[in-house]
Amino acid sequence: MEVKIQAADRSVEIGIRPFTMADYEAVWQLWEICHIHPGPQDRQEEVRKKLQRDPDLFLVAEANDIVMGAVMGAWDGRNGWIYNHAVDPRSRRLRLGSRLLEELEKRLKAKGAIRIRLLVEQGNFDGQSFYEINGYKEVEEIVMSRWLNAEKGEKKGV
């Protein structure tokens, strides 16, 4: 899985491996700088729940103990899902985003997924272009969501 790529003026080994809770703070920071807008569903206790279900589908790209990218996948038995896909702005256009996507697609396919779905925020044209280049098509659907703990004030995000 280790691939040597040239990053700026230095070459670094960037590996892709499953996320562990030790990565949590670095990944949270990555989401924030990438404007992923982590929400209540991304808090530590929620991520722990997610890891109990499919730990092999949450991947990070790392070089020299530095997390440079991450993607969270999920398999619900019907669709594969992609969430919070992010690459550090200093490490973009090096195919890291594509490598994370390819590895996740491979893992979802191995679980039996025949379709992958994902959400791109309105106005995120760069994100949309990236997925289109990687074979994804926009579908005309309205996304609806409900917070099951809304009485506790959890109303932000989708």
Ligand X SMILES: CC(C)(COP(=O)(O)OP(=O)(O)OC[C@H]1O[C@@H](n2cnc3c(N)ncnc32)[C@H](O)[C@@H]1OP(=O)(O)O)[C@@H](O)C(=O)NCCC(=O)NCCS
In whole angstroms, how close is the CB of 29 to ligand X at the nearest point?
13
In whole angstroms, how close is the CB of 44 to ligand X at the nearest point?
20
Which listed residue (126, 138, 140, 151) binds ligand X by CB under 6 A?
Answer: 126
Residues for the chain: how many in total?
Answer: 158
- Choose between 35 and 112: whose C-beta lies nearer to ligand X: 35
Question: Strand, helix or coil at 16?
Answer: strand
- Residue 143 in contact with ligand X, rule: CB under 6 A: no
- Residue 67 in contact with ligand X, rule: CB under 6 A: no
- Residue 120 in contact with ligand X, rule: CB under 6 A: yes
How big is the site for ligand X, counted in residues (CB under 6 A)?
19
Read out DSSP for 44-104? HHHHHHHHHH-GGGEEEEEETTEEEEEEEEEE-SS-EEEEEEEE-GGGTTSSHHHHHHHHH
Which listed residue (11, 29, 44, 124) binds ligand X by CB under 6 A?
Answer: 124
- Residue 97 in contact with ligand X, rule: CB under 6 A: yes
Query: Which amino acid is located at 125 in the chain?
Result: F
- Residue 133 in contact with ligand X, rule: CB under 6 A: yes
Beta bridge partners of 87: 69
In whole angstroms, how close is the CB of 23 to ligand X at the nearest point?
16
Determine the Cα–Cα distance for residues 155 and 158; give it in Å rounded to an integer: 9
Phi (first) and psi of residue 128, to 5 degrees: -60, -45
What's 136's DSSP letter?
Answer: -
- Residue 50 in contact with ligand X, rule: CB under 6 A: no
Q: Which residues bind ligand X (CB under 6 A)?
A: 34, 36, 85-87, 92-98, 120, 124, 126-127, 129-130, 133
